A and B are shown apart, each in its own frame.
Chain A
């Protein structure tokens, strides 16, 4: 009897252990824990301190009693580092960070049944590969946007550039001056994907299927293109506000950019516009993800539900110049966003956007022989250094 009891206890204990490690997914919501801490992009979670019109935190705190604590991070890599450190419940991760965190077990699967508004999520985002692995959801889509081509309308006149070649190849711009020294490029290794995207149209024999999955030959071609670009670029942009400043004070003519900068420049009366060139664009799509060891999972689930409320989505998409994960937010008038505003942010161009994903060596399209991200980093440093 004792023997059998021990055996039973052992089995139960083992079962419990497996249950804890394998499926940490929550099955029901409890009471809020009174707090939730979130790692977010600057400007993503506003509590009315920057502009009293943009506040989607106070109401949530009053309704749920969950006090929101925000830690902003400027790059995907900072986000990954903060989540690795622990102590946070949620993160608004872009596609170049989300898979890294899933692979590193820093985030846990999401039970979509616990998020009543899940059904309102844009169908194009529901099963997006940057947060869904083997059919398991690891987060709730938040915002997405394209990396558009920003250009100065005084230089280009009313002829919007139709191709990314203005930032990749030496040429004269419509105002008769060469583009050398008047274009910028993103100061992040992920920009290699923009070069690869350009090559997909202009050198189809390379056989690039995805700009984030490059074999050695395709990768070398992209780097060659970027070396040409280095001769044109006087400074790579890293910080959105530095780029804004460069378009105001350095006479910049064109650059890859985000709708965020475009909106701020337009608000300041700088003669700029943005376009999605014929080659398509890269873009980012962010997902609210739950830390594997979140201390406040109930509040975290309540926050994820809250993020999908169409009025938050609507205001945020105005504030950040991005597209909401809930399509209704563009049209239902629940917030400040309008259908035209969403179109301006690139809502209809979803299919032309290649979303940021972390390049890994084990890739599908090139038979697992892709150049991994850490080499992108060191080689891009080399290219910028003139090698």
Chain B
């Protein structure tokens, strides 16, 4: 009886049912996600007292001003450059792999490809990073391969370059970049592959029938149609690189990236306002990034 009355009520007022169904996820989103985000934002408008090191609960923009101190600006620029480099490289490496997986791999090969792409995601992130540390070490596998190929001079020449170089790959920005690239690559391949699979073969045939060379087809048919997938993938690689604080700690020059700065300021220094201000930076960068991505049609397929 009660059920019947309830179902009558929901039938007469469909909006009520909708509201009831939406309430839990909305509450979750509102309280847990947005709530913590606003708590973070609020923290960033406080400041730390110069003498006692205690947080002063008065609204101020002083903490944001501190972001523009040279050493902090370095951290931001460094992180954005790294994220951009990783994203571009991931797109370049992922495209042929995704193209092959989407167009040519058939039957068991398709499964092998999926497995090959997904497998790294199954093992622990830390295990992967530590094993890369060994691969890149001065006396590691990569160094050994270069020595066997009599190419040590090439490696040394690269490591002698300012900025990207260092004493060995594992303590250089090149090393950090390679590990980032490896760890986030699946997040680029999968959306690109999905986008490529949606490109109808008839269009490629039409393009060929109209006399386009393969290169032309790639440039003016496949790439534009795959672009939303690339942009979607780049959102993952870009944001994941920006927020990561473990890889640059294990592989690289020890110079901080944003994630590490947040971790250290809130934990070690008790400087929660500055940590919060730092945490707002990726949010802003991603907001800009997502706006651009939307313009490029990354979400059209959603």
| A interface list, Cβ under 8 A from B | 75, 77-78, 81, 181-182, 187-189, 233-236, 238-239, 242, 245, 248-251, 360-361, 372-374, 377-379, 381-382, 384-387
Contact = CB atoms under 8 A, between A and B. Distances in A.
12 contacts: A78-B267, A234-B168, A235-B171, A249-B140, A361-B52, A372-B53, A373-B53, A374-B53, A377-B269, A378-B72, A385-B75, A387-B74
A124 B48 CA distance: 37
Interface stretch (B2-10, B24-32, B253-261): B253-261
Interface stretch (B131-139, B181-189, B203-211, B234-242): B131-139
B267 A233 contact: no
A277 B134 CA distance: 31
Contact of B71 (A77, A187, A245, A385): A385
Contacts of A77: 267-268
B169 to A, nearest CB: 10
Interface string B122-152: 0000000000011001111000000000000
Contacts of A381: 71, 75, 256, 261, 264
A234 B139 contact: no
A6 B249 CA distance: 64
A247 B70 CA distance: 33
Contacts of A379: 71
A182 B254 CA distance: 15
A373 B50 CA distance: 11
A245 B135 CA distance: 12
B270 interface: yes
A189 B140 contact: no
Contacts of A251: 138-139
Contacts of A234: 166-168, 171, 253
Nearest to B268: A77
Interface in B22-76: 48, 51-53, 70-72, 74-75
A113 B23 CA distance: 58
Nearest to B260: A381
B71 A387 contact: yes
Nearest to A251: B138
B254 A236 contact: yes
A384 B254 contact: yes
A233 B254 contact: yes
Contacts of B268: 75, 77, 188-189, 377
B252 interface: yes
B51 A250 contact: no
B71 A374 contact: no
B271 interface: yes
Given A181-B166, A387-B74, 17 more contacts: A77-B268, A81-B267, A239-B249, A242-B133, A250-B138, A360-B53, A361-B52, A373-B53, A374-B53, A377-B264, A377-B265, A378-B265, A381-B264, A382-B70, A382-B71, A385-B75, A387-B71
Residue among A81, A235, A239, A251 having the largest count of chain B Cβ atoms under 10 Å: A235
Contacts of A378: 71-72, 265, 269, 271, 274
Contact of B256 (A75, A188, A189, A385): A385
B193 interface: no
Nearest to B170: A250
B253 A235 contact: yes
Interface in B91-148: 133-134, 137-140
A374 B268 CA distance: 8
B17 interface: no
A194 to B, nearest CB: 16
A235 B254 contact: yes
B134 A373 contact: no
B171 A250 contact: yes
Contacts of B71: 378-379, 381-382, 385, 387
B29 to A, nearest CB: 25
A238 B268 CA distance: 13
B250 interface: yes
A75 B171 CA distance: 23
B68 to A, nearest CB: 13
Given A234-B166, A250-B137, A250-B170, A385 B255 contact: yes
